[in-house]
Amino acid sequence: MNATELLKVLENHKLWLENNGGERANLSFTNLRCANLAGANLRGANLTDANLAGANLRCANLRDANLTDANLAGANLRGANLTDADLTRANLAGANLSFTNLRCANLRGTNLARANLTDANLRGANLRDADLTRALNIFPTPKTTIDPRALLG
């Protein structure tokens, strides 16, 4: 997908979010490797199986987005909103998730190896079968919240 096509999808998605026509963004199976989507509003978007490896999603709104099986390896998600997002089996290896809101997100079977979770909000998130090998700052700090039940599924 080229930049012009992506811009059109984002514009239509914005209209859809505002109930002014448009349509929900469907970026499933799309190659967005290293794309700059910083601050993008992709709330409720379909990004199933999308390749977002190395993408800049800093401060993006991905609330309620479907990122099942998406590749986000090495992506920058610092400060992003992933509340209620579905990240089942997503690859977030080496991703920057610092200051990210993952409240009630589904991270079941997700690869979080070497991910930076500094001050991330994981309250109510499902981390069952997630790979947290060498994840940075997974243990709660004053700003990081994790519900221990999330690890039990």
- The pLDDT assigned to 146 comes to 55
pTM, full prediction: 0.89
What's the domain count of the chain? 1
Whether residue 153 has pLDDT greater than 90: no
* Farthest CA pair distance, the chain: 45
Instruction: State the residue range of the domain holding 61.
Output: 27-153
Cα–Cα distance measured from residue 94 to residue 30, given in angstroms and rounded to the nearest whole number: 21
- Residue 45 is assigned to a structural domain of this protein: yes
CATH code, domain with 37: 2.160.20.80
* Cα R_g (the chain), whole angstroms: 15
- Residue 134 is assigned to a structural domain of this protein: yes
- Residue 136 is assigned to a structural domain of this protein: yes
- Residue 10 is assigned to a structural domain of this protein: no
Whole-angstrom CA distances from 37 to 17, 52, 76, 98 are 17, 10, 10, 17
Q: Which pLDDT tens digit goes with each residue over 106-144?
A: 999 999 999 999 999 999 999 999 999 988 887 555 554
